Amino acid sequence: MKFGVNLRREKTGAEVSVVIFQIISLLPALYIFVLSGYYLLMTKPSILKTLFDLGLSALPRAEGIALSLLYRHTSSEMVAFFTLTGFALAFGLLAERMLKGDYRRAKTSRVVYAALIAVDLIVRLLPLRCNLAFGWPIAIIAFAIRLGCLALILLDLRADRKQSAL
Whether 15 has a pLDDT exceeding 90, the answer reads yes
10: phi then psi, degrees, rounded to nearest 5: -120, 155
Highest mean pLDDT among 32-41, 63-72, 114-123, 154-163: 114-123
For residue 137, the model assigns a pLDDT of: 95
pLDDT band at 164 (very low <50, low <70, confident <90, very high): low
Whether 8 has a pLDDT exceeding 80, the answer reads no
Beta-carbon contacts of 155 under 8 Å, excluding residues fewer than 6 positions away, are 3, 13
pLDDT band at 166 (very low <50, low <70, confident <90, very high): low
Distance from C-alpha of 113 to C-alpha of 151, rounded to nearest angstrom: 11
Distance from C-alpha of 88 to C-alpha of 157, rounded to nearest angstrom: 24
Q: Does the CA dihedral 121-113-18-86 come out positive or negative?
A: positive
What is the amino acid identity at position 113? Y
pLDDT band at 165 (very low <50, low <70, confident <90, very high): low
**140-160 mean pLDDT:** 94
**pTM greater than 0.85 (yes/no):** yes
Lowest-pLDDT range of 1-5, 62-66, 89-93, 142-146:
1-5
- DSSP one-letter string for 1-27: ---SSS-SSS--HHHHHHHHHHHHHHH
